[in-house]
Amino acid sequence: MTTQQQPLVEEEGVALQQRAEKLDRQDPLAHYRDHFIGTDTPLSYLDGNSLGRPLKRMPGDIAAFIREGWGGRLIRAWDEEWLDLPQAIGDQLGRAVLGAAPGQTIIADSTTVVLYKLIRAALAAVADPDRNELVLDTENFPTDRYLVEGIALEEGLTLRWIEADPAAGVTADQVREATGPRTAVVLLSQIAYRSGHLADLPAITAAVHDAGALVVWDLCHSAGSVEIDLDGAGVDFAAGCTYKYLNGGPGSPAFAYVNQRHLASLNQPIWGWMGRKDAFEMAKGYEPAAGIRGFLSGTPAILGMLAIRGTLDLIEEASMAAIRAKSEKLTAFAVEIFDAWLAPLGAELATPRSPGERGSHITVDHPGFTKATVASLWDDDVIPDFRSPRGIRIGLSPLSTSFQEVLQGMAAIRDRLQD
């Protein structure tokens, strides 16, 4: 760096610092940061889209559950609360986050298992032998791709791949081109896990329906970070995890959404005792429970879903509209820092520039970025994640991330590039 460049860089740093301080002062959601463990430390957490921070209320909630529910009520708690908890939390999730009326959302299994159930249920609902194609995109999350490949092999179906731009995502026009009279089911992610591209969920859903097919949406990177209206868009099926923006904790169970119009004829493939119409009858033969409860299979992970309730309470208090507004400001500030500090060092933005076209993360590519780069950042308490082959993904959770935290973390990334 020349002596002529040095003052310019220092001036940019001062200006960005002042911007971060001003944005934090003006942030109407800033006080929600105090609800999360670890936000009072100097650590810069830029991976909230992989695993959200825990709430400070959780140790007390879990202790009360162990002492009063599990320890106090023991087996009686199944009848008193636990049997209803998957749907009760599902209804709150639908109300607060998904734009879903009651009775259509349930907490059940891992995302992979839930997606398998949904795709197979969607195929059963189509019930047309001429519709033998599954449509998905080349940039979808690995689990989604692997599942569809496996199901196609099981059922003798054809895969039709949409070649998605790695720096963007799937468009409604691409879906129209890929679907037709042979399409059975389309599986897409609302937010591309690498680029952060936000798909046009209503337009794509309409395009799939125009082709006479059904759509399954993966909401893992959108639930809790963008506004969603599943009922309004007429979505057929959706799934998502709860450990990212919903702060459910590592391995917390996923959710399933099934539109009301499909529930009466629902035929999900993994029959288990908890999905039977009377789980404790222990009778011969499987008769599915009515409604969304029929989507359960085995015993629900009650302890694993406790943390979700705390975040849903905060979301209902803050509103998804306000959360989305902050998400757009956070990513816009991250792009502003990228332009000032990282682009001049040869980095590329692998994310749409318009805030309305991306979720709550950005990805920065550079030939020098490796797993070792991220490991060195982690050692210094700056926590983004690496996305092969040369990307650092910066995930910004609106309720727990400050603008100063973004600046601090990206300054460390700049320093690695300068070195």
Kindly report, residue by residue over 242-266, the tens digit of the pLDDT.
999 999 999 999 999 999 999 998 8
Upstream peptide bond of 389 is cis (omega within 30 degrees of 0): yes
Catalytic residue among 73, 95, 141, 313: 141
Does the annotation mark 244 as catalytic? yes
pTM over cut 0.85: yes
Does the annotation mark 243 as catalytic? yes
| pLDDT less than 50: residues of the chain | 1-8
Does the annotation mark 393 as catalytic? yes
Does the annotation mark 369 as catalytic? no
d(CA 180, CA 157) in angstroms, rounded, equals: 15
Considering only CA atoms, which of 199, 191, 192, 139 is closest in space to residue 163?
A: 139
Catalytic residue among 116, 243, 257, 333: 243
CB atoms within 10 A of CB 226: 24
The DSSP annotation for 383-418 comes to E-EEETTTEEEEE--TTT--HHHHHHHHHHHHHHHH
Q: CB within 8 A of 10, min separation 6: which ones?
A: none
Domain annotation for the chain: domains and CATH numbers = 5-56+320-418 (3.90.1150.10), 81-316 (3.40.640.10)
Catalytic residue among 326, 390, 393, 416: 393
The DSSP annotation for 309-346 comes to HHHHHHHHHH-HHHHHHHHHHHHHHHHHHIIIIIGGGT
d(CA 413, CA 384) in angstroms, rounded, equals: 9
Catalytic residue among 27, 91, 200, 218: 218
d(CA 294, CA 184) in angstroms, rounded, equals: 22
Does the annotation mark 84 as catalytic? no
pLDDT at 12: 78
Catalytic residue among 244, 276, 293, 309: 244
- The answer to whether the CB of 48 falls within 8 A of the CB of 384 is no
User: Would you mind telling me the total number of residues written for the chain in this entry?
Assistant: 419
- The answer to whether the CB of 139 falls within 8 A of the CB of 164 is yes
